[in-house]
Amino acid sequence: MEPLAAPLRILAIVNLPWDPRLGAARVWIELAEEWVQAGHSVETFCLTDAYPQQTSSRVRSTLRQAFFPWRAAAFVRRNAERFDVIDCLIGTLPFTKRSLRFGGLLVARSVGLYRLYEQFLQQSRKRWPDQPKGRWFGRLFHHVIHRHLWKNSETSIRYCDLLNFPNEDERRAIEQDGSIRKPMVVQPYGLSDRFCEAFGRTAAPAAQRLRGQKICFIGMWSLRKGSRDWPKIMDAVWQHHPAAEFVLLGTMFRQEAVFSDLGFDKSRRVTCLATFNSSDLPALLADGVVALFPSYIEGFGLAVLEQLAAGLPTIAYSVPGPRQILDPQRDLLLTPVGDPAAMAARACDILALPLPEYERLSQACMAIARRYRWSEIAAETIDQYRRALDSLGHSPTPHGVTAGIQLTG
């Protein structure tokens, strides 16, 4: 009988509050829950650990992001011997392991590769040149901070032991850079077993959803998530399905601000919910018929998974993350980037499907979501981390010697 593998002692580092409403933080939160359930020890160092006092100043918040790595490094140096693995957001620990006095596995995790996001930022300025530019000193300040954060990210991917990406596009983007020769793994995101089952259990009958013609979107209201494309999408859908209703969830802005951008008055069939509790999401999506996700750049796309799990065929632009998730139904559910007319046309096609065809498509979407479970992803990630630790010659603390299983933040 083989001896039990020692549980790993993991430190998660992210420069955001430990809040599941924030997509990047949610990745570590849900992974940590799975790891703790499997017997591992997980501690966290997040933005509120580095800066306990809240601030409403945008300048101060930006500066906190810039100086977060030094506080994270100080924490690591004080506690390095207590961890086997440091799983940190790219850019949050741009230091050599020797300077950190850490002998375990240093993982730099992407939740959206900064290089690809930079490409989108440059393209967006050309695509939407009317964006507010602000005052010159504000632009200079943010330019300096942006370059500083970029340098931290570039440094951290060169000092880490292992790069962890959420999609194959990001891995290929780094592999093409001949100057970066690091072991790489691709681990997608997922849903908890409980959450996935709740979506399926709550979903209304397909016939009811088709009759209701409710179209859903989950995401922050922003250029990156396609806010400029929604007026064209809505107008095109209403030309063929005037009774269609649009529900925008988690926009982080009041409904008045969203309507102002859309150019519609409140009589149109659009509902905006700025925030919601994650436990309410299955009920919010239960009577939806189709979901749209016109995002221009993603790390993965948890919102796509959630809507698929609810049985909603989810149409997305063909970008990293959604492209990987929707590949089994790519001919129907993926559209060219920045083509709102194509997205609206696909939505109209689904709204017009006969009930048996819609039921089959809905079931196929649920099946896609079931392929992405945190329980399996967390276990596979641990296996990869163990192999990487073995290659470093680092042995975790023997089973039963740890001070206890804890999740702090």
Query: What mean pLDDT is predicted for residues 195-200?
Result: 93
- What pLDDT digit, counting tens, does each position of 307-352 carry? 999 999 999 999 999 999 999 999 999 999 999 999 999 999 999 9
Q: Which residue has the tokens 């793994």?
A: 185
Residue 211 has pLDDT above 60, yes or no: yes
Q: Is the backbone of residue 252 left (phi > 0), alpha (psi -120 to 50) or beta? A: left
* CB 51, CB 57: distance < 8 Å: no
| Whether the predicted pLDDT of 237 surpasses 70 | yes
Across 211-230, average pLDDT? 96
Closest CA to 30 of 305, 325, 311, 364: 305
pLDDT attached to residue 267: 62
User: For the segment 107-143, what is each residue's pLDDT rounded down to a tens digit?
Assistant: 999 999 999 999 998 898 888 888 877 776 667 777 7
- Minimum mean pLDDT among 143-157, 271-285, 389-403: which range? 389-403
- Positions of CATH 3.40.50.2000 in the chain: 9-190+373-392, 193-370
> Span 244-259, mean pLDDT?
92
Q: What is residue 404's predicted lDDT score, i.e. its pLDDT?
A: 36
Averaged pLDDT, 201-224: 95
User: What is the per-residue pLDDT across 13-30, written as a single tens digit (0 to 9) for each?
Assistant: 999 999 888 888 999 999
Cα-based angle 352, 358, 359 (whole degrees, multiple of 5): 155
Give the angle subtended at the CA of 267 by the CAs of 263 and 271, to the nearest 5°: 80
Lowest-confidence region among 42-51, 262-271, 288-297: 262-271
Q: Summarize the confidence of residues 158-173 as an average pLDDT.
A: 96
Tokens 């996001």 found at: 117
Structure confidence at residue 405 (pLDDT): 39
Whole-number percent of the chain with pLDDT over 90: 78
Residue 399 has pLDDT above 70, yes or no: no
Beta bridge partners of 42: 10, 407
What are 62-112's pLDDT values in tens digits? 899 999 999 999 999 999 999 999 999 999 999 999 999 999 999 999 999
Would you say residue 148 has pLDDT above 80?
yes
The dotted CATH code for 193-370 is: 3.40.50.2000
Superfamily per CATH, domain 9-190+373-392 = Glycogen Phosphorylase B; (3.40.50.2000)
Written as one letter, the residue type at 210 is: L
